[in-house]
Chains A and B, each alone.
Chain A
């Protein structure tokens, strides 16, 4: 028994739903109790889908328990076939139905539907969402991709794009970006799957020369099967970040025997990162957590492309634990492999990062700890399924990443500065950049108050000792840039008070500056 409040991954049947919902012409009949339909709203709300997910739930109730549930399953499967006329169906059990003795695969076979019906064992009590997606996609690929065929020699090689699903973090735009990139390199895309593919298209998977694995969590078992069954090699580099995209291009060129020379788009990231405005990013302490793929990619970008210090690294994807541990060693830190958000919260608190890169969960943790944060991985909330084009992959993805990582830091700096200047007259309430207010700024309260207090409350012993600025020193103070003036004034007065000085001269000002340093 595991005490859980937040889960980074849903149950495995959610993974199967992500595959089914991404595809077209496939229907999923899920043996599940009343209530499990809550999962529909992940797709209709978070991803804002305009159709219901192609999922029929048997929604059995207590009164149905017994022999009845098998009959309910058969009725649901038959009705779903008749109503939706899918080209293929998948059938499986959610956690509760797994405890019953019904066998969706066998029951569906007995119906003898005129389309392929593929049973998926979801192992609800030991596996989770990404595993469910990978297993479902693997089963579909295995059943539908057919037997090995001779591939003709082509002028432009053909590749499959494997791994994008419904509810994937930026999957929609990653597919567009990588398709464009491959086309520019001289590669045509055969089938993109699961997202956007029909069961009929899956029968064509074997036609491609090689496979591009976009999201190993989901596509790796299918890609390994296709390598074995159809002799298709697959890409090992996930093209997130400029360096990884360049490596990916080299890998694709090697797999497809492509010559160098295609004119590729460039990313703005290298120049943005080298421009002097980015100097302050150097050595920023960053904490990275998410799924294995995005964490490994983010680590490389943080290190090679942004000049950050990685002070924390972890993943909830146990399948990637070894890679992430390996990666953490480079920074002399211990990788955090956990699906308990309390562990992540403790690690973030202890690491004192300047920036947190994580999931929706880390966004909330960072908010609580008042740290800047950007979401780089699922699970993500509705705002991370944006209307605008926002890939993570390829060169445009690198541009998006630069902006989205730096943005909260800029905001952080701005907030810090605003806090620091709050007492400055330039920032008094009602101050306007348009200069509309010609009225003089109100005298700063700490200077006005003591004067009034002297007569009103002579008992305030400290007041008469407050050091006074000489005219000359006051003029000198005004030469100090406004954004550090408040601090300089405070430090100088403190310095003078501590030494019992009644007058602040220009000398005192600079003595204080030397004393406090930066």
Chain B
């Protein structure tokens, strides 16, 4: 259960990765719907699942559920479990009613859940059938966000990977193009688009904000991941002939620079032009980070597994804010996608893939880190034990990438410590 495998045996300080199995205190991939539906403005996410799935979405979406939500659950009932043929009819009925009521919906995702996967409802076939019934008015695509197959952000990976085969084909004669992959807050996306223009690259983004504006892909497409959890999507894009630009992730000043630089190098942008384009952003990021460095320097930090953002975040906190990541867990470690990040991580960090939450809690209590990054199910219990926590989900909902968010990102880790130092009761 707990074997440790060296990650870079040739390096002087070998970085070991521990594999843990046991109880996992994580969200399933359905949670990705909560931010994906905000990003693709004419898409609807229909989960085929149980009352638990609906309850999860409601708990994860909080009050957002009332702002014209574009997701729902088709709850399986006892009679649906009786026979498979019946389920397909029921599903067709639900989808027809839904599309009638929401004529603005252009893209419908059928999202698989644990119950639908276990009883093997064929949503791929259902999507194919419904696609023919509702084309061209709406497109229907399926993917799985079930807990048995996906952890939290992997829901986005499954969603984007399902879109990849149907992206428009870029002509073989097209000029080399850049595709930025991963849902980013609109403000971040706009900043990156502007920076790439300065550099001299016309960047497109997956997912696009509208279903009919999804980017084309082809053998001349070079893509760069904006998020570390997109392994399936990367594979699907490579199947379309696109090539991945390997890079660190755009968190913090250094991460953003490395990320932009990797793209610039892939397009042979002269160093002078690159430096001129990023100089103002870099200067602003450095200035804003300096404010937080004094507060965070030397503090130890412990990451519970959640989103696969843990390693890039630990790298950012260690290198730019002088924190000490002592124990970093990630639900999955895609070594290829994180190669550039792992090279920058301090070697004394304990790295874990997977989870055994009770043992991780034992380690956390023993280490008494200055700050613990964890889910909302663990945060208050750890606070009541006297440990400062930063709840992890906020890192998915808050714009954190790029130069102009570097200070905000640091502030997210500073605030819990500042608060503890202020309170006197």
Interface residues of A (CB under 8 A from B): 1-7, 9-11, 13-14, 33-42, 44-45, 48-52, 56-62, 64-65, 76, 79, 83, 94-96, 99-100, 124-126, 128, 364, 368, 381
Query: Considering the chains assembled together, what is the distance between the CA atoms of A39 and B52 in angstroms?
Result: 9
Evaluate contact between B51 and A95: CB separation under 8 angstroms.
yes
Interface of A, helix, strand, loop or mixed by DSSP: mixed
The listed residue with most B CB atoms (<10 A of its CB), out of A94, A100, A125, A368, is A125
Q: Nearest Cβ in chain A — how far from B413, in angstroms?
A: 20
Q: Is the CB of B377 within 8 A of A1?
A: no
B187, chain A: closest CB distance, angstroms: 27
**10 closest pairs, A vs B, by CB?**
A35-B28, A35-B147, A40-B377, A50-B384, A95-B50, A96-B114, A1-B90, A41-B376, A34-B147, A62-B148
* Interface residues, chain B, with chain A CB atoms under 8 Å away: 23-31, 48, 50-52, 54-56, 58-60, 63, 65-66, 69, 71-78, 80-81, 87, 90-91, 93-94, 97-98, 114-115, 117-119, 146-149, 151, 358, 375-381, 383-384
- A292 CA to B97 CA in the complex, in Å? 31
A33 to B27 CA separation, bound complex (whole angstroms): 10
- B118: contacting residue among A7, A48, A65, CB under 8 A: A65
Contact B376 A35 (CB under 8 A): no
Interface of B is mostly: helix
Q: A1, A48, A57: which contacts B94 (Cβ < 8 A)?
A: A1
Given A61-B148, A96-B50, the answer on whether A14 and B377 have CB atoms closer than 8 Å is no
- Give which listed residue, B60, B77, B119, B146, contacts A2 with CB less than 8 A: B77
Q: What chain A residues lie within 8 Å of B380 (beta carbons)?
A: 44-45, 48-50
Extra contacts besides A40-B25, A64-B148, A125-B50 (10): CB < 8 Å: A1-B75, A1-B76, A14-B55, A34-B151, A37-B26, A38-B59, A59-B147, A125-B76, A125-B77, A126-B78
Question: Judging by beta carbons under 8 Å apart, are A38 and B27 in contact?
Answer: yes
Q: Are A44 and B381 in contact (CB under 8 A)?
A: yes
A333 to B80, CA, bound (A): 35
What are 23 A-to-B residue pairs whose CB atoms are below 8 Å?
A3-B75, A4-B75, A5-B73, A6-B58, A10-B51, A10-B52, A36-B56, A38-B31, A38-B56, A38-B377, A41-B376, A41-B377, A44-B380, A49-B380, A49-B381, A51-B384, A58-B23, A60-B148, A79-B358, A95-B114, A124-B50, A125-B77, A126-B77
Closest residue of chain A to B93, judged by CB?
A1
- A4–B73 touching, CB < 8 Å: yes
B114 touches A33 (CB 8 A): yes
Q: Select from chain A the residue with minimum beta-carbon distance to B91.
A: A1
What distance in Å separates the Cβ of B250 from its nearest Cβ neighbour in chain A? 28
Q: Say how far B97's CB is from chain A's closest CB, in angstroms.
A: 7
Contact indicator A35/B56 (Cβ below 8 Å): yes
CB distance from A33 to the nearest CB of B (A): 4
Q: List the count of A-B residue pairs having beta carbons below 8 Å apart.
A: 172
Contacts known (A36-B52, A49-B380, A125-B78); A83 close to B59, Cβ less than 8 A? no
Distance from B421 Cβ to chain A, minimum over Cβ atoms (Å): 21
A62 proximity list for chain B (CB < 8 A): 117, 146, 148-149
Residue numbers in B under 8 Å from A14 (CB-CB):
55
A323 CA to B28 CA, complexed, in Å: 40
| A50 touching B381, Cβ below 8 Å | yes
Contact A3 B377 (CB under 8 A): no
* A437–B120 CA distance with the chains assembled, in angstroms: 74
Q: Which residue of B lies closest to A42 (CB)?
A: B59
A35 touching B27 by the CB < 8 A rule? Answer: yes
Q: List the A side residues contacting B146 at CB < 8 Å.
A: 33, 35, 62
- Chain A residues within an 8 Å CB radius of B59: 38-39, 41-42
Docked-complex contact B54 and A7, CB < 8 angstroms: yes
A41-B59, A41-B376 in contact; A3/B118 too (CB < 8 A)?
no
Are the C-beta atoms of B381 and A37 separated by less than 8 Å?
A: no
Q: What's the nearest-Cβ distance from chain A to residue B201, in Å? A: 38
Of the candidates B28, B58, B379, which one forms a contact with A34 in the assembled complex, judged by CB atoms under 8 Å apart? B28
Contacts of B48 in A (CB 8 A): 1
Cα distance A65–B75 in the bound complex, in angstroms: 22
- Indicate if the CB atoms of B358 and A35 lie closer than 8 Å: no
Q: Let me know if B384 and A11 touch, CB within 8 A.
A: no
Most A-side CB within 10 Å, residue of B31, B72, B81, B148: B148
Pick from A11, A52, A58, A64: contact of B55, CB under 8 Å: A11
A31 to chain B, nearest CB (A): 12
Asked if B81 and A125 sit within 8 Å, CB to CB, the answer is: yes
Q: Which of A9, A83, A126 contacts B358 (CB 8 A)?
A: A83
Instruction: Report the separation of the CA atoms of residues A353 and B98 in the bound assembly, to the nearest whole angstrom.
Output: 30
Residues in A neighbouring B81, C-beta threshold 8 A: 99, 125
Q: How far is the CA of A125 from the CA of B73 in the complex (A)?
A: 14
Q: What is the bound-complex CA distance between A38 and B114, given in angstroms? A: 14
- Give the complex CA separation of A195 and B43 in angstroms: 44
Kindly provide the distance from the CB of B122 to the nearest chain A CB, expressed in whole angstroms.
Answer: 15
Q: How far does the alpha carbon of A56 sit from the alpha carbon of B74 in the complex, in Å?
A: 28
